Amino acid sequence: MNFTDLPLQQSILDNISALGYTQPTPIQEKAIPVVLTGKNLLATAQTGTGKTAAFTLPIIEILSRKKADGRNKKIRCLILTPTRELAIQIEENCTDYGKNTGIKTLVVFGGVKQGSQESQLRKGTDILVATPGRLLDFTSQGIINLKDIEIFVLDEADRMLDMGFVHDVKKVIKMLPSQRQNLLFSATMPSEIVTLSKELMNEAVRVEVAPVSSTADTIQQKVFMVDKDNKVPLLLHLLENQLDSEVLVFARTKHGADKIVKRLVQSGVAAEAIHGNKSQNARQNALANFKSGKTKVLVATDIAARGIDISELKWVVNFELSDVAETYVHRIGRTGRAGADGASISFVDGLDLVNLKNTEKLIGKKIPVERDHPFHTDSLVIEKRDSNNKPFRSEPRTNNFGTSNASPKKSFSRPNAPSRKTGGAPKKRWD
């Protein structure tokens, strides 16, 4: 199936094409036709499967079919999501997909002063993307009214549960009109989410997409154990001695991507970055330079890289591993396409040890550790992060992937890393 096979207006198809997409992912192929019929949807899909476009594309289509009066400031669609990073990412997706449709999107989230968000809200919007806390703040102040919502999306419902937002979500649901379309997306479907879905909607079409968990046999995978401060020197060493063609480097954050590019350029390497703060023209120019060979290294965040499809790309470097294991599969899948050989190199420091373990569990095999380089270390320190994704405590641990025989300490779960707007996370081609 191609996107042109779906009943989407030409302006949306043009926007999709401009971003480099021709075929929908499995969740998009299953969900978009259901949403376009106006039915409720209960979807199980991991980050990285393209779920954001699975609901934003049909929502833009539905709302644009019956455009509101230009003087009408009513919010017609509410997308509720657990984190500010994901909220910003979804707003950007809506903006990208909704160009020339007349559909306006705004995002509100906590952690910043509400003044600018409030002034934008008073101008009106068709789609509102929000986190629960800030949304309830605005509704309590009478700034936001949800009585005209036609479509309600609850995204990453299981994370809402994990982060303790379920009561806030239920408060929001009570403010919505009884006649509305409901779309619930969750990576997992525990009993609490099933119960919540029943409170949210009476009947729903259920779709499910299994997470991608395998890597192509044509891709040679290696792990380089390296201290954080030595990652850029290691990359420069590899560029000089091993990486003999263009290299796609994945960074966790936009700021991190820019820092890598700055260091590379200072060392005489032709490098550019693509991420959420870059305009579409800047991204396209950077990609064109990379494809032509003018740029040796393209540094990208997961979201900005979702449209990259380079048939002869040989090298992918994970400067940091994503907290979402499935993202690893999507990242390295940029190489080794159509049966061609490819190679992925993953730099692993203390913050990445648990991610490496989770990634290896997902793909069902150990990734070989390359020790033959000047920055190899057999002992790393596991670093945890606080809710703002900053390291806050270290536990000495001999890494379980090197040569030491020391016993590792107990593992732990780390908070999810920020996605698009702080740059990292994520996902996947489309999420």
Q: What pLDDT, in 10s, does the model give residues 201-260? A: 989 999 988 766 677 778 999 999 999 999 999 999 999 999 989 999 999 888 899 999
> Could you tell me the sign of the dihedral formed by the alpha carbons of 11, 13, 19, 24, in that order?
positive
Q: For domain 219-422, give the fold.
A: Rossmann fold (3.40.50)
Task: Please provide the average confidence, as pLDDT, over all residues in the chain.
Answer: 83
Note the residue count of the chain.
431
Q: How many CB atoms lie within 10 A of CB 160?
A: 24
Token pair in block for residue 192? 């609490």
Mean pLDDT of 154-182: 91
Q: What percent of the chain has pLDDT over 70?
A: 82
Q: Which of 168-172, 282-286, 320-324, 413-417 has the highest mean pLDDT?
A: 168-172
Residue scoring higher pLDDT (402 or 301): 301
- Which pLDDT band, with edges at 50, 70 and 90, does 369 fall under? very high
Using pLDDT thresholds of 50, 70 and 90, give the confidence band for residue 427: very low
Q: Judge whether 43 and 56 are in contact, CB under 8 Å.
A: no
Residue 362 has pLDDT above 80, yes or no: yes
Contact (Cβ atoms closer than 8 angstroms) between residue 80 and residue 74: no
Q: Is 30's pLDDT higher than 60? A: yes
- Give the pLDDT of residue 159: 81
Q: What is the pLDDT of residues 45-75, one digit of tens each?
A: 876 678 899 999 999 999 998 865 544 679 9
Give the span between the Cα atoms of 211 and 27, in whole angstroms.
Answer: 10
How much is the pLDDT for 197? Answer: 92
User: What pLDDT is attached to residue 188?
Assistant: 79
Range from 154-163, 192-201, 344-353, 415-424 carrying the lowest mean pLDDT: 415-424
Q: Per residue in 404-416, pLDDT tens?
A: 333 333 333 333 4
Q: Which residues contact 52 (CB under 8 A, 6 or more apart)?
A: 89, 90, 93, 155, 430, 431
Between the two ends of the chain, the Cα-to-Cα distance in Å is: 20
Who's near 162: CB < 8 A, 6+ residues apart?
none
Do 3-208 and 219-422 share a fold? yes
Token pair belonging to 281: 């023209």
Whole-number pLDDT of residue 161? 84
Q: What is the pLDDT of residue 112?
A: 83
| pLDDT for position 340 | 75
Residue 146 and residue 198: Cα distance in Å, rounded? 21
Q: Calculate helix-pair angle for 254-266, 231-241, nearest 10 degrees.
A: 50
Average pLDDT over residues 86-104: 91
The mean pLDDT value for 305-314 works out to: 70
- Separation of CA 115 from chain center: 27
The residue ranges of DSSP E strands in 267-424, in sequence order, are 271-274, 297-300, 315-318, 342-348, 380-385, 391-397
Is-contact 238 254, C-beta < 8 A? no
Over range 417-426, report the average pLDDT. Answer: 40
Beta carbons of 35 and 12 less than 8 angstroms apart = no
3-208 CATH choice from 3.40.50.970, 3.40.50.300, 2.70.98.40, 3.10.450.50 = 3.40.50.300
In the predicted structure, residue 130 carries a pLDDT above the cut 50: yes
CA dist 367 and 357 (Å) reads 10
**pLDDT the model gives residue 280:** 62
- Where in the chain are the domains? 3-208, 219-422
User: Residue 417 pLDDT > 50, yes or no?
Assistant: no
pLDDT confidence band for 403 (50 / 70 / 90): very low
Dihedral sign, CA of 96, 273, 89, 333? positive
The fraction of the chain above a pLDDT of 90, given in percent, is 53
